Amino acid sequence: MPSLRAILYTTFTLTTLPIRILGILVYYLPKVTRPHPAWTYRQAIGLKIFAIWWNYATAVEYRTPKTLIPGREGQRFVVIDPPSNRPALDRGILHSVPSIRPNPIGAVWYPATPSKPPNRVILHFHGGAYVLGGARRKQNGWGPRILSQHMDCPVLQPQYRLSVEENASFPAALQDGIMAYVYLLDTLGVAPENIILSGDSAGGNLVLAMLRHLTEEVDAGLPLPGVGLLWSPWLDLTDHAVRKVDKHPYQGNDYLTGSLVAWGTGMAEVLHEDHMRFVEQMKGLGNEIEVCEVKDAPHDIFAAGVVLGWVDQTEEAIEQATLFVKRVVGSV
C-alpha cells in the first residue's frame, strides 16, 4: 500500500508533468540555457526529462517489480538456483550476515538464450544505486543488447536483490553476483577466461566487489574472469561521497543527485573525478586498465544513452571496450 506521501507526490507529478515538459521544451531551445554548452537540444531535454523520473522514483521510494515468472521475456528468462556443490558461497564476506542467504534469482539473456553453451559470455549487472533497476528489457535492456551486438557474444543480466527488498541487505547482491558467475562456470561450462564481468553505475561497484572477493578468497576455488568492464561505476558509497554530489560543479549537467546516490565515464558527470583517481590507483598496482572518456557526457550513458540522446557516443565507447577485450584476451 503506497504511503500518503507517495500518493500526494504522484498526484503532484502527474498534474504538473505536461506543463513541466512544455517548459523544458521551450526553455532549452536557445543554446545558452542548456545545462552544458556543447549539448544538443535533444541531449538537454533528454537529461531534464529523465531527471524528473529519477527524482520521482527516489521521492516515492519506488520499488522495481521482481518475479521469477518469465513473462514477456519468455525463453530468454532463466532461474538460477544456489549451487549445492560450491561451499564458496558460505565463506568470507558472503557469509558475514548469517540471516542473508543465497536465494534463487532470475536472469535475462540478450539477445536470446544460447542454443548451446557459448564460448564467451558477458555477465552484466545493471545500475540503480542498489535500490532501483532490473534485468528485463523494459527495465534495463538497451545497454546489454547493444553490448551483445558489438562484442558478438550473449549477455546474461541477473536481477540481483536490491537493498530495499525484504532480507536483501548486504551481502545479498554480492551473493547473487557470485551465484550467477558460478552458474556460467558450472552449469554452462564457460571457461573463466571467456567470462566478461560488466556493470554500469552500482552494477560496476558490484563487479569490483566480486573481483575483490574472488581475489581474496583464493581457497574457495573460484577463478578470476578474463575481463571486467565498468560503465560509469559508482565507486564510493560513503556518506561523505553522497553529501558532496549536490555540491559538485557538474551537478547541473547530470541527473544524479545526492538523494539518489543515498538510495566508461562521462566527462561532465559528477563521478568523473572518482573514476580518474581509481584508474590511476589501479595502474599503480600493476593492473592492465584502459579508460574511455566520453566528452561532455552525463552519468551512465550505457544504461540511459537511448533516453538521454547519447546513442552514438555509447556505441563508440562499447566499440572501444570491444577492442580492449580482443587485445587482452583475444577472440573466440
- Write out pLDDT tens, residues 90-128: 778 888 898 999 999 999 999 999 999 899 999 999 999
Name which of 87-91, 240-244, 258-262 the model is least confident about: 258-262
State the amino acid at position 41 in one-letter form: Y
What is residue 272's predicted lDDT score, i.e. its pLDDT?
A: 65
Q: Is the pLDDT of residue 253 over 60?
A: no
Nearest to residue 71, comparing CAs of 159, 147, 153? 159
CATH architecture, range 71-329: 3-Layer(aba) Sandwich (3.40)
Q: Is the pLDDT of residue 159 over 60?
A: yes
What is residue 88's predicted lDDT score, i.e. its pLDDT?
A: 63
Q: In this prediction, what percent of the chain has a pLDDT beyond 70?
A: 88
What is residue 203's predicted lDDT score, i.e. its pLDDT?
A: 96
Q: Is the pLDDT of residue 218 over 80?
A: no
Q: Is the CB of residue 298 less than 8 Å from the CB of residue 254?
A: yes
pLDDT in tens, 25-66: 999 999 999 988 999 999 999 999 999 998 899 889 888 999
Q: How confident is the model over 5-23, as a mean pLDDT?
A: 94
pLDDT band at 237 (very low <50, low <70, confident <90, very high): low
Q: How confident is the model over 318-331, as a mean pLDDT?
A: 90
Q: Is the pLDDT of residue 240 over 50?
A: no
Residue 249 CB contacts under 8 Å (≥ 6 apart), including other chains: none
Q: Is the CB of residue 266 less than 8 Å from the CB of residue 235?
A: no
Q: Is the pLDDT of residue 231 over 70?
A: yes
Burial of 218 (0-12, 13-18, 19+ CB in 10 A): exposed
Active site (catalytic) residues: 201
pLDDT band at 275 (very low <50, low <70, confident <90, very high): low
What is residue 284's predicted lDDT score, i.e. its pLDDT?
A: 78
Peptide bond into 35 cis (omega under 30): no
Name which of 166-175, 263-272, 275-284, 298-307 the model is least confident about: 263-272
Q: How confident is the model over 217-229, as a mean pLDDT?
A: 87
Parts of the chain belonging to CATH 3.40.50.1820: 71-329
Q: Is the pLDDT of residue 326 over 80?
A: yes
Higher pLDDT, 90 or 319: 319
> Of how many residues is the chain composed?
332
Residue 179 CB contacts under 8 Å (≥ 6 apart), including other chains: 80, 82, 83, 89, 102, 105
pTM: 0.86
